[in-house]
Structure 1
């Protein structure tokens, strides 16, 4: 065998240096203790010499120095390569038998959950949003304009025509702003105005057995006073009752009713009371006419304009 190149350590010395490194590496306490001071290499060299002498091995100082230097330089240590994406991909592929089943199961559950959520939540929300958009941009503006035109076609009076124009402008502005509730409310108000204008009826005093035709009430605000009311109802030309919006002066509530109490002066109350007591029949039961195309009722008796809804 040819001699080793000059300056290169012999193979047996290299192997011995590797053994020194291995000895140090497996003696953790020794490394921690001997490498703690300033003269760590000298103390470590002496300790290693004692270890090898106890085993009957004579290790030259240069070999010990090579082992200590190799340990510090991590020359014989295994250095793990970097965590590149190729290595991670290879690791995943090599361990696929361990993670494939739970991952596929989790993926299946996720797909099922997403599908159920999409069908039961996302799609209905999308349809609802599309319906709201269509109503705001197409249906409500068209309905507002149609109800406005119905009002104009049903009356020549300035007040309801002005109300219709205001409601139309407010409804269209609400629709442009995306305020669905306000736009719908204006459409409903326009439709109600058109119905009120088109409705014609007579207002007559109720004149049936065991039903009052007139009453009086003591107002809560003034216990020494009395308010007088005629009990009236709205009927069409065929004698059928119709419902009309009436606002109570007692609590401010409004309701559509066919019968209500109309507030009148005491003199009118007494006239009706005496007329009914005379023979049980009212000679002039009709006291008002509401014609189509108008909102107000034309009264044939004096009335304070107030009303009540219960008695």
Structure 2
């Protein structure tokens, strides 16, 4: 039974390997021929002999074999997260300040984005959600109650109920703009019901009380109008929604031209020419609780907003 090689022989074999490894030209030259091991053994013996060291053939063979088997060569382990972490920690002095600066930029950038973008969006979303779930349903019901409290007209009440149902359905579906539109329509309806005013012919010096127009659709015809204004019981102007029969535009105004028959136009014209005063200037009454104006003259309900 052969025993394990002595420690000095092992160390010598390792030295042989190291000698071969550091003599690159020797390795290239001696390991490229057919009798490479024999020639390499002789060259190694010469090298050690010149240094006064006697090395046996067994040790030389062991060194040559170890070199070919890469027995004493160090093979670095592959890159792993532990090695990468250790390397990063060891070199933290070089990259640490840059990493901290980069982290600071990221934190500041995120903070600016959160304050200027994310937070306002979150607040806006919360406000809209509150409006949809609480404010709009409550205001829709409040405006509906104003309408029903202000009139006994069944048609107006039915219209208000339709607007309430549509507004509540829009709020439940998340359509805030549609719900607001129904709320505003109910508020306008309540305001129109509450309004009370008289419609009177304008009768001031230097201002016309009546006009006529040639319609674009029929150049041989004439349309006749009385210039009127809506005033409350104290004589103050009241703005009311009026739609122009010429272009369909609707505006809230206190003065407009009301379409009347030619006979009514002539009556007012003659009345004003007689003494500069219109004896009966009030031609309509709008009472609270009703949307309709009660006219004392003939009119088809048409009007214009400019003349």
Check the 8 A contact 1:216/1:229 in 2, yes or no: yes
* Distance (Å, rounded) in 1 between the aligned partners of 2:34 and 2:280: 131
Aligned equivalent of 2:291? 295
Q: Decide whether the 8 Å contact of 1:247 with 1:254 is kept in 2.
A: yes
Q: How much does 1:265 deviate?
A: 1.6
Unaligned runs of 5+ in 2: 49-54
Does the Cα contact within 8 Å between 1:4 and 1:10 map onto a contact in 2?
no
Give the C-alpha shift of residue 18 in structure 1: 4.3
Question: Per the alignment, in what secondary structure is the counterpart of residue 233 of structure 1?
Answer: strand
Residue among 113, 126, 151 paired with 2:109: 113
Partner of 2:51: none
Q: Specify which of 245, 248, 257 is matched with residue 249 of structure 1.
A: 245
Structure 2 residue 273 is matched with structure 1 residue 277: yes
Q: Contact 2:37 / 2:64 at 8 angstroms: preserved in 1?
A: no
Call closer, same or farther: CA 1:10–1:233 in 2, change over 3 Å.
Answer: closer
In structure 2, the residue corresponding to 1:212 is in which secondary structure?
A: coil
Distance 1:14 1:104, change over 3 A: closer
Which SS does the other structure have where 2:109 is aligned?
helix
The question of whether the paired residues in 1 share the 8 Å contact of 2:12 and 2:59 is answered with no
* Distance in structure 1 (CA, Å) of the matches to 2:4 and 2:65: 21
Equivalent position of 2:140 in the other structure: 144
**SS in structure 1 of the partner of residue 124 of structure 2:** helix
Equivalent in 211, 217, 223 of residue 213 of structure 2: 217
Q: Residues 63 and 272 from structure 1, CA distance in 2 versus in 1: closer, same or farther, beyond 3 angstroms? A: farther
Aligned pairs, how many? 298
Q: For the structure 1 residues 27 and 208, does the alpha-carbon distance in structure 2 shift closer, same or farther, using more than 3 Å as the test? A: farther
Q: Are 2:106 and 1:104 equivalent residues in the alignment?
A: no
Question: C-alpha offsets along residues 81-111 of structure 1, whole Å, 9 cap, x if unaligned?
Answer: 2333332222222112112212222222322
By how many angstroms is 1:162 displaced?
1.1
Residues 1:176 and 2:176 aligned together? no
Query: Which shows bigger deviation, 10-19 or 290-299?
Result: 10-19
Cα distance in 1 between the residues matched to 2:36 and 2:5: 30
Counterpart Cα distance in 1 of 2:171 and 2:117: 26
Name which of structure 1's ranges 124-133 and 293-302 shifts more when overlaid on structure 2. Answer: 124-133
The aligned residue for residue 19 of structure 1 is: 19
Q: Is the 8 A contact 2:261 2:298 kept in 1?
A: yes
Partner of 2:52: none
Aligned residue number for residue 164 of structure 1: 160
Check 1:207–1:44 CA distance in 2 against 1; reply closer, same or farther (3 A cut): farther
Alignment TM-score, normalising by the size of structure 2: 0.83
1:202 paired residue among 175, 198, 207: 198
**SS in structure 1 opposite 2:246?**
coil
- Most deviating of 84-93 and 133-142: 84-93
Where in structure 1 are there 5+ consecutive unaligned residues? 35-40
Match for residue 189 of structure 1?
185
Q: Residues 20-66 of structure 1: CA distance to partner in whole angstroms, max 9, x if unpaired?
A: 34445x799x69xx9xxxxxx7647659959x86x976999999997
Q: TM-score, normalised by structure 1?
A: 0.82
Q: Does 1:307 align with 2:306?
A: no
